[in-house]
Structures are given as C-alpha cells and as structure tokens.
C-alpha cells in the first residue's frame, strides 16, 4: 500500500517541510552525485551512521563491501556528526523519492500543528531517537545507516496521534490487481508501524542490513510521545 494524498488541509504554507525536502534533495545531488559512483558510496561510508564505529564495538580495519570496486573501512574514530548527517543521505532514487513523498504528505500538517521552529526541533529529536534505536538493535554492526525515514517515521507517529481520523487515499497493489481505497490515518499508519515492528523483531540479534527497521520503530515511537504531549498541552 502506498499513500497518494490526505484530505487534511493546512492553515499556512509548510515552509520547514519544503525546506527539509529541499535539503535532502540538495544532499542527494551535491554530496551523493544523484546516486552515481563513486560519490554515492563515499557519502554512505563517510556520512552514514556505522554503529560499530560509533560505539567502538567493531574491530579496527573491518571492511564492508559497498560495491564491486568500493569498500568502507572502519577506524577507531567515533564520527558523532554522522548521527545527524546520516538523516540527509540516501541509498537510491527510490529511497529518497519514497521518503520525501511521505514527508510531503504528512509533514505539512504536523508542522502546522507544532509551529515552524518547534517542528525543526521535533524532526531532529525523532531522527536522533531513530538512530539510537537502530544502534541499540545491533550495536556492533558495520553496515552504514542512511536515510530520513527514521525522522519521517516520527512525523508519521505524531500525525497518527494528532489526526487519527484524517482520511488517507491509498494505492493498493495486489499482483495484477490495482485499486485505490480511503482509510483513516490511524489505520494506515498503524499498519505501517506494525510491519516495521515485526521486521525489526526479526532482525534483533542478527546482522543488520538493507532497511533500518529499528530506526523506523524508534522514530515512530518518539513521534507518538511528542505528538501526545503536544495534544495534551494544546488541550
């Protein structure tokens, strides 16, 4: 299932949401070469979050093969800036487009509810929570983590709390059968979270790779907590 749009209008232009989308796009172009080698692999290695390197739990000199001709070598220097920089890196065109689409659909309403500058802090806190969750899931992993999906997961968690009854139009693809349905936001986002939680549970204790499901879970839960606090405070 893929969200097409929601029916939740905003009262003002979501400047910060658009700015964050633009920042990710600029990073994709200027730092990652629009997904071309060697810029893509260099950015993943140097700006991605590597739990084993961050916590010094991976052996120095450990190597991860990023492509047939590109490797990433672990050293003893903890790159703490990667906790933030990794939020603006992506691994493919599909990765960044899907992330930015979810941000476009759900970010504007959360920003509208929180206010512009508080939304910046909210986004970063959710991103940090997502990184912490992924590191906790596999602290010795040498697989670089990149992507805005943890922070955007926080946006989705807050949306589910603040606008549970908003209608979301979904594109449903079941083999050759394609249709559109309209469901409450809480149902769609709850279903998404359940899939992330099950996938993160399956990866627990294993070698992390591919999708950072732990980051999705951590970001979404932080978004729920902050969204609930905002709702109670505004009441």
3-class state of residue 184 by DSSP:
strand
Which residues are 72's β-sheet partners? 64
Q: Quick check: is 131 in a domain?
A: yes
Instruction: Give the number of other CB atoms < 10 A from CB of residue 113.
Output: 19
To the question of pTM greater than 0.85 for the whole model, the response is yes
- Give the Cα separation of 15 and 8 in Å (integer): 17
Q: Quick check: is 29 in a domain?
A: yes
Q: In which domain, by residue range, is 82 found?
A: 2-50+78-234
Per-residue pLDDT of the chain (235 residues), as tens digits, is 789 999 999 999 999 999 999 999 999 999 999 999 899 999 999 999 999 889 988 887 788 888 877 888 887 677 899 999 999 999 999 999 999 999 999 999 999 999 999 999 999 999 999 999 999 988 988 889 999 999 999 999 999 999 999 999 999 988 889 999 999 999 999 999 999 999 888 766 554 456 789 999 999 999 999 999 999 887 7
Q: Quick check: is 40 in a domain?
A: yes
What's the structural domain count of the chain?
1
Q: Quick check: is 155 in a domain?
A: yes
Q: Quick check: is 60 in a domain?
A: no
- Whether the link from the prior residue into 38 is cis, omega within 30° of 0, is yes
Q: Quick check: is 200 in a domain?
A: yes
Closest CA to 218 of 164, 147, 140, 120: 147
- Give the Cα separation of 154 and 121 in Å (integer): 12
CATH number reported for the structural domain that contains residue 91 in this entry: 1.20.1540.10
- Give the Cα separation of 99 and 96 in Å (integer): 5
Q: Quick check: is 106 in a domain?
A: yes
Closest CA to 166 of 151, 180, 148, 187: 187
Q: Quick check: is 61 in a domain?
A: no
- Give the Cα separation of 6 and 156 in Å (integer): 12
pLDDT of residue 207: 47
Rg (the chain; Cα; Å) = 18
């Amino acid at each position: 299932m893929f969200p097409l749009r929601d029916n939740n209008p905003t009262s003002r232009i979501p400047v910060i949401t658009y700015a964050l989308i633009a920042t990710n796009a600029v990073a994709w172009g200027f730092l990652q070469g629009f997904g071309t080698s060697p810029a893509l692999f260099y950015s993943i290695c140097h700006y991605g979050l590597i739990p084993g390197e961050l916590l010094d739990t991976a052996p120095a000199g450990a190597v991860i093969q990023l492509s047939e001709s590109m490797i990433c070598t672990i050293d003893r220097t903890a790159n703490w800036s990667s906790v933030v920089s990794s939020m603006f890196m992506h691994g493919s065109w599909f990765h960044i487009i899907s992330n930015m689409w979810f941000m476009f659909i759900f970010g504007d309403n959360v920003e509208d509810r929180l206010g512009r500058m508080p939304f910046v802090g909210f986004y970063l806190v959710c991103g940090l929570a997502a990184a912490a969750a992924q590191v906790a899931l596999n602290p010795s992993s040498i697989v670089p983590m990149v992507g805005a999906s943890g922070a955007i997961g926080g946006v989705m968690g807050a949306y589910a709390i603040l606008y549970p009854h908003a209608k979301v139009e979904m594109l449903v693809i079941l083999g050759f059968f394609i249709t559109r349905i309209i469901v409450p936001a809480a149902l769609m986002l709850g279903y998404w979270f359940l899939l992330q939680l099950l996938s993160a549970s399956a990866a627990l204790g294993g070698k992390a790779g591919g999708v950072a499901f732990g980051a999705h879970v951590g970001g979404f839960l932080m978004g729920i907590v902050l969204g609930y606090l905002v709702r109670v405070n505004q009441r």
